[in-house]
Structure formats: C-alpha cells, structure tokens
C-alpha cells in the first residue's frame, strides 16, 4: 500500500519539507568582539560562512569588494575553509578594500561572528539546497543578502526581510552591501523580520507536523 502511494519519478507528488530550526538553539549565542579579528569598532561588517566550493560563488563576492567605495568602513568576514586559495587570493589582493577583507578560516565560534555582524551575505551560484548557514544567520536576527538560486527562494523575501540579487553579479552584490550600510535602521529591521520569518516558516514544530502528515498520507 505504501509503495503504491510513493511518487517514484512523478514530480507532481513531490513534497518539500524543510529542516526545522528552534529559536532556543540560538538564545545563548553571544556576539564576538570583532576587534579580535582586527575590525575597528563602528565598522559595518558583513559575514559569509561557507567552505569554499565552486557553487558558493566566493570569487563573485570578492569581486564585489572592488566596487565598494574605499572610503566606506565596510568590512567583509569570510569564515570557513579554503578562503585563501591562490585564485581567491589574487582577486582579494587586487581589491582596493583588501585590508577590510578578513579570513579567520574555520571557526567553532562562527555563529558568534555572525551574531556580531551587521549583515550576512551568501553569493551562491547554483546547486544549493536551502542553506543551513543562511537559516542560522536569519535565526540570529542578522539581515541577509542572497543570490537568486532555487534552493533559497522563499527564505529571503526581497525588501521584506533581506535583499536578493542575481547570481554571478558582483556589481549587484556590491550595491546591496552598500545599500544596507547606508540604511542601518532598515538593515536592523530586515534582521528582526528575518528572525520572525524563520520562527514562523521554518520552526522545528512545523517540520515535525509536516513529516507526520506526510507519513499519514502514505498510509491512507
């Protein structure tokens, strides 16, 4: 009976159930003092947490820093493995803002870094499911900037709880980063709404309920 209800190639029967998050998981996260990373107090900071792979689009994010006016105190933190490989290093070294790009590498306190940042940026170009690091950042109340790829559509609502830009477009990434710097109150508002969106749409209780309904449907 169950086998007869399974879809096996019939995409019309496919069901999406997102991995749920519990706000309590993040309640004890305290922001890191970013001066420990060499970032001056009062700087506007954007964090990106990822292990560098082609799909993550890190070269496009680094290219975006070339387009940010050098006089603006905008700092970028790239947390994760592989952020200093030679191809990325070349792009970074050409950036007029290279002194404001920070590479702490893999960090067990990545969530504390994100919590301390003004915004979170995810420049993925393809191949992503709903990204855990994005859900974590939004749960922490940090305003997101993401690219328009299928896995994260519907997580960030354009100009409601964050900004969505085209993939592979450094100019649009830079424009979004500068926009949040120039509108700090809106940036904070996006962060608050992002956290609420995760609580409402991606809460663990909703995931449990949807899984229960799915398995009950298989048994009918």
pLDDT at residue number 2: 45
Instruction: For residues 73 and 71, give the distance between their C-alpha atoms in angstroms, rounded to a whole number.
Output: 6
Contacts for 123 with CB less than 8 Å, ≥ 6 apart: 48, 56, 57, 58, 60, 61, 64, 147, 167, 173
161 pLDDT more than 80: yes
Give, as one character, the DSSP assignment of residue 69: -
Give the model's confidence band at 63: pLDDT under 50 very low, under 70 low, under 90 confident, else very high: very high
Fold of the domain built from segment(s) 24-219: Rossmann fold (3.40.50)
Closest by CA position to 202, among listed 150, 143, 156, 145: 156
Contact 78, 46 (CB under 8 A): no
In angstroms, the CA 123 to CA 147 distance is 6
**What percent of the chain clears pLDDT 90, i.e. is strictly above it?**
75
Q: Where are the alpha helices (DSSP H) in the chain?
A: 2-5, 58-65, 86-94, 110-116, 132-139, 170-182, 184-201, 204-219
Residue 144 has pLDDT above 80, yes or no: yes
Return d(Cα 46, Cα 43) in angstroms, integer: 10
| pLDDT-above-70 percentage for the chain | 92
Q: Distance between CA 16 and CA 144 in Å, rounded? A: 23
Q: What is the pLDDT of residues 33-50, one digit of tens each?
A: 999 999 999 999 999 999
Domain coordinates in residue numbering, the chain: 24-219
pLDDT at 8: 53
> Is the CB of residue 156 less than 8 Å from the CB of residue 120?
no
Q: Does the reported pTM lie above 0.95?
A: no
DSSP 6: S
């Amino acid at each position: 009976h169950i086998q007869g209800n399974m879809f096996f190639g019939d995409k019309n029967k496919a069901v999406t159930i997102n991995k749920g998050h519990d706000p309590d998981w993040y309640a004890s996260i305290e922001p890191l003092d970013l001066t420990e990373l060499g970032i001056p107090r009062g700087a506007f900071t954007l964090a990106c947490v990822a292990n560098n792979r082609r799909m993550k689009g890190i070269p496009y994010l680094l290219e975006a820093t070339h387009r940010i006016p050098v006089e603006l105190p905008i700092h970028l933190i790239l947390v994760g493995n592989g952020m200093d490989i030679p191809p990325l290093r070349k792009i970074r070294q050409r950036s007029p803002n290279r002194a404001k790009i920070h590479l702490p590498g893999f960090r067990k306190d990545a969530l504390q870094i994100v919590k301390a940042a003004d915004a979170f940026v995810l420049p993925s170009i393809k191949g992503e499911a709903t990204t855990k690091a994005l859900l974590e950042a939004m749960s922490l109340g940090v305003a997101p900037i993401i690219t328009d790829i299928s896995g994260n559509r519907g997580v960030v609502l354009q100009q409601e709880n964050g900004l969505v830009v085209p993939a592979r477009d450094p100019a649009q990434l830079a424009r979004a980063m500068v926009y949040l710097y120039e509108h700090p109150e809106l940036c904070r508002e996006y962060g608050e709404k992002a956290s609420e969106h995760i609580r409402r749409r991606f809460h663990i209780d909703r995931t449990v309920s949807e899984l229960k309904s799915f398995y009950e449907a298989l048994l009918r």
